[in-house]
Amino acid sequence: MHAFSRPFPGSSPRPFPGSSPRPSRRSLLALAATAPLTVAPLAATPAAAASDVVVGGARLVADGVQVDGGGALPRKLTARAWLLADQDSGEVLAAYRAHLRVAPASTLKMLFADTLLGRFERTERYAVTEADLAGIPSGSSLVGVRAGVTYTVEQLWQGVFLRSGNDAVQVLARMNGGVAKTVAEMQARAVDLQALDTRVVSPDGYDHDGQLSSAYDLALFARHGLRDADFRAYCGTRAARFPAGNGKTFRIENTDRLLSGTYGVTPYPGLIGVKNGFTSNAGNTFTGAATRAGRTLVVTVLHPKSGHNAVYEETAALLDWGFVQGSSARAVGTLVEALSEGGTRAAGSSAGKTPHAGAQASSAEGGGPDGWGVLGGAAGAVALLTGGTYALRRRRRRTGEAPPAS
Give every CB contact of residue 259 below 8 A, 6+ residues apart in sequence. 236, 238, 267, 268, 271, 273
CA 163 to chain centre: 16
Sign of CA dihedral 168, 225, 274, 292: negative
| Phi, psi of 249, deg, nearest 5 | -135, 165
Provide the β-strand partners of residue 212: 199
| Phi, psi of 133, deg, nearest 5 | -100, 0
Give the orientation angle of helix 109-116 with respect to helix 166-175, to 10 degrees: 30
CB 156 within 8 A of CB 252: no
Catalytic residue among 51, 164, 340, 349: 164
Q: What's the rounded Cα separation, in Å, for the pair 77 and 320? A: 13
Catalytic residue among 51, 109, 275, 362: 109
Q: What's the rounded Cα separation, in Å, for the pair 243 and 376? A: 37
Catalytic residue among 106, 140, 141, 362: 106
315: alpha, beta or left? (left if phi > 0; alpha if psi -120 to 50): alpha
Q: Quick check: is 164 catalytic?
A: yes
Considering only CA atoms, give the Rg of the chain. Answer: 20
CB 244 within 8 A of CB 144: yes
Q: What's the rounded Cα separation, in Å, for the pair 181 and 372? A: 10
Q: What's the rounded Cα separation, in Å, for the pair 235 and 174? A: 22
Q: Quick check: is 51 catalytic?
A: no
- Which residues are known catalytic residues? 106, 109, 164
